[in-house]
Structure 1
Amino acid sequence: MRPAALLAACALAASTVLVAGCGSENAASGSRAASGSPTCASRPPTGDPADLKRDGVTILSQGCGPSPSAQTEFEVTNTETEPFTYTISFEVRNGSGEVTSNPHRTVASVAPGQTVRKTLELGEVPTAGARVRIGKVRAVPADEASEVSGKCPPSGMRITTDEGDAAMGLRAVGLHLANCGTGVVKINGYPRLQLLDERRRPLTGVRILDGTGAISTAGGPDAPPRPVTLRPGEAAYASLMWRNTTESGTPVNVPYVRVTPKPGSPTAIVTPELDLGTTGRLGVGPWTKDRVSRPATPDGYSGGRPSRTPGSTGE
C-alpha cells in the first residue's frame, strides 16, 4: 500500500459515501488533537441505498484510522442456513466520479444469522471528496471456499483463478491448484467444471470442451493430459478459454464456477466472472505443472499467474 497522504476534509455525497479526510486538525472542531496525531470524526453514510447496502453487505460509517489513512466500516450479514465466505469489491471514486481503485476484502466463514463488522483500509485517496461504494459481492459456502489468504482446505488442495487475459474477443483465465497440505497430490486429465449463475444455481446451454483448440490455436496445439505430481508447496494450472462474441440470443455471464480437481475430490467454488457472450462454449485445458518455483511448505503457494510454457508437462 502506498504511503498515506493527508486528506483535507470530511464530506458527504448525495449518491455515495464520501471518504473521510484525515488532516492534522480535528475535522469536527477544526482544532489540532492534543497528541498532535491526525483525527477526524466518524461520519454516518447517506445516499443511494444501492451503493451502501447490497447482498448482505452494508457500509456503516467512515472515519480515520490510527494512521492518516482513509477507511470505511462495513458489516456482513449471513441470511443463509450454512456458513458462507464473502468477497466484497469496493469502488473508490474521485470528485469527478472516476474509479481510482477497487479494494477487495474477504470475510471468511460467517455463521448463519451472524453479522460481522469489519474495517477496510483504503490507503491514500487522491482527493478529499473521494467516494466509496459497494461494487460487487460474491458469496460462497464456507466449505467450498478456497481463497488464497485463508487456511489450507482439508483436502490439501487450494483452487484459485488469476485475473486472466483478453484480446480481440478472446478470453483466457488460469485455474490454479496449489498443494498447500503436507502430503503428495496426484492429478491427471482435465478439471471438471459446473457453471453457476448469480444465485449459485447450475447454468445450462454451455458446452464445456476438453482442450482449448476448438476455441483458439494461438497457443499451439492442445497438449495431451499427463499425470502431475505435486509435492507440498508445488502447483499446477489449467487454462480456461472462450470467446465473448455476442450475436443472436442472450449473452451468458458466469460469476461462479464449481471445480472438481480430480474424480472423488472435494469441490471448490471460484469466481472467474466468465463473459461467454452467445457462443455457448468454454474450452478447458489439462492440468499442467507450474514450473515457477514455490516454497515447499504448507500454505507456501500464494497464487499468481502460471508459467505457460508450451509443451511443459507434469512429473
Structure 2
Amino acid sequence: MRPPRTLRLRLLPAVATVLLLATACGGEHAGGDLGGDGVGAASPASRTPVTAPPVDGVRITAVTLPATTPTPRPGASDWTVHADRPADDSGVSAAYEVTNDGKEALTYTVLFDFTTSAGEVMGNQWVTVRDVRAGRTVRGTVELGVLAPGASPVTTVKVAEVLKVPAAEAPARAGVCPASGIRVTADDGDAAMSLRVVGLRLENCGEKDYPLDGYPLLTLLDEDRAPVEGVRILHGGDSIATGTGYDDPPRAFTLKPGQSAVSGLVWRNTADAGTDPVNVPYVRIRARSGAAPVMIAPRLDLGTTGRLGVGAWKPAGR
C-alpha cells in the first residue's frame, strides 16, 4: 500500500459545484455543449494552450480567460490603471482531457481549482466523467461560473484532485436506476471540529420489494483500491459520538419501490503525535449480503483513531 497522503476533504464547502457526465469513447467529449475542438462556445477571450503534465490521467490542455480592457479608475491613493473584466467571470474556462491508462473502465471525479496569479483559490468545480474505457481519452470543458463582486481575477486553472473508481461500481447518476434496482449514494458529508459524518442513502428504484435488516457491509480501500488493514468498523454512530442520527439498533423492514433507507459513516480525525495518520480514499459498500458493490470516495481522514462507525439502515425520514 502506498504511504498515506493528506487528502482534501470534500466536506469543505466549494464556491460552486458542477457535474459534467459523459459516456466515454476515444476522442469523444465530456459535457453537453462542446464544439469540434472540445472547448465549448466561442468567446471574445484569450485561449492559452497548457503543457503541464497530467495528474492521475487528467490534463488541462487550454485555459480561456475573458478579454480585459484597461480603464482608469481610482486606486487606494491615486489614479491607477486596472483591467476590467466581465462581472460574472463566466468567460473563464479550461479544456481538459482524461486518459485511462489502466486495464478496466473507470469513472473519474476531478476537482479543478481556479486561482489567481498569486495562487489564491477563487473557486473550484467538481467534474464527473463516467465510463472511460481502458486506453481511451475523453475531452471536455469546465467553467468557473459566477464569483463574488470584487473578487480577484482568475489567471490559472489546476487539477487539484482526482478520484477514480471502477465504472461498474460507480454510484448511478441521478435519474438512472441500476440493473439491481437499488441506487446507493453518499452525500458530501459534514464536519464539526474533529467529528466527521457522511450520510448514505439507498433508494429502491426497481419494481420489487427490497428487505433490509442490519448494517451496510464495508470494505475500506487505499488509493490503489486495495484493502486497508488495521481499521475497526464499529456498529452504530454512537460508537464514535452520540447525536449523529445513526445510533438506532438494526431492525428488519422492507423498502417498497420508490422508498429509501439511510445510514451513515461516523469518525474522528484526531491524531497522536509520532504516529502516522490513516487516510482511506475509497469505501466499497454492499447494502446487504450478496448485493452488488458500490464504491464511494468519502476520503476518510481517520487520524490515528483506527475506528470507523457505521449506522444501521433505517427508513428515510425516521
If the length of structure 2 is used for normalisation, what is the TM-score? 0.73
Q: Does 1:105 align with 2:122?
A: no
**Distance in 1 separating the partners of 2:134 and 2:223:** 20
Evaluate the alpha carbon distance shift between residue 170 and residue 38 of structure 1 in structure 2; reply closer, same or farther with a 3 A threshold. Answer: closer
User: Where does residue 9 of structure 1 map in the other structure?
Assistant: none
Q: Secondary structure at the match of 1:43?
A: strand
Q: Does 1:249 align with 2:283?
A: no
AA aligned opposite 2:57: G
Q: Are the equivalent residues in 2 in contact too, given 1:184–1:231 (CA < 8 A)? A: yes
Unaligned 5+ runs, structure 2: 1-14, 16-41, 67-88
Q: Deviations over 1:151-210 (max 9, x none)?
A: 322112222211222223121111121223333322220001000001111000000011
Q: Secondary structure at the match of 2:168?
A: helix
Unaligned 5+ runs, structure 1: 3-36, 292-311
AA aligned opposite 2:135: G
Evaluate the alpha carbon distance shift between residue 263 and residue 132 of structure 1 in structure 2; reply closer, same or farther with a 3 A threshold. Answer: same
**Distance in 2 separating the partners of 1:110 and 1:181:** 26
Q: Does 1:57 align with 2:58?
A: yes
More strand by share: 2
AA aligned opposite 1:97: G
User: Where does residue 188 of structure 1 map in the other structure?
Assistant: 213
Q: Deviations over 1:17-58 (max 9, x none)?
A: xxxxxxxxxxxxxxxxxxxx8522421015xx4xx5200111
For residue 71 of structure 1, the aligned residue among 88, 93, 108 is: 93
**Residue 108 of structure 1, CA deviation:** 0.6
**Distance in 2 separating the partners of 1:38 and 1:274:** 41
AA aligned opposite 2:315: K
**Residue 71 of structure 1, CA deviation:** 1.5
If the length of structure 1 is used for normalisation, what is the TM-score? 0.73
Evaluate the alpha carbon distance shift between residue 113 and residue 178 of structure 1 in structure 2; reply closer, same or farther with a 3 A threshold. Answer: same
Q: Are the equivalent residues in 2 in contact too, given 1:171–1:243 (CA < 8 A)? A: yes
AA aligned opposite 1:280: G
**Distance in 2 separating the partners of 1:191 and 1:153:** 18
**Distance in 2 separating the partners of 1:220 and 1:82:** 38
- The structure with higher relative contact order (CA 8 Å, sep 6+) is 2
Evaluate the alpha carbon distance shift between residue 233 and residue 208 of structure 1 in structure 2; reply closer, same or farther with a 3 A threshold. Answer: same
Evaluate the alpha carbon distance shift between residue 221 and residue 140 of structure 1 in structure 2; reply closer, same or farther with a 3 A threshold. Answer: closer
For residue 86 of structure 1, the aligned residue among 95, 101, 108 is: 108
**Distance in 1 separating the partners of 2:155 and 2:233:** 43
For residue 307 of structure 2, the aligned residue among 281, 284, 293 is: 281
AA aligned opposite 1:53: P
AA aligned opposite 2:140: K
Q: Secondary structure at the match of 1:103?
A: strand
Range with greater deviation from structure 2 (202-211 or 68-77): 68-77
**Distance in 1 separating the partners of 2:114 and 2:184:** 29
Q: Does 1:200 align with 2:222?
A: no
**Residue 227 of structure 1, CA deviation:** 2.2
How many residues align? The count is 252
Q: How large is the RMSD of aligned CA atoms in angstroms?
A: 2.4
For 1:115-130, list aligned pairs within 5 A: 115-124=137-146, 126-130=151-155
Evaluate the alpha carbon distance shift between residue 60 and residue 260 of structure 1 in structure 2; reply closer, same or farther with a 3 A threshold. Answer: same
For residue 48 of structure 2, the aligned residue among 43, 49, 64 is: 43
**Residue 244 of structure 1, CA deviation:** 1.0
Range with greater deviation from structure 2 (278-287 or 142-151): 142-151
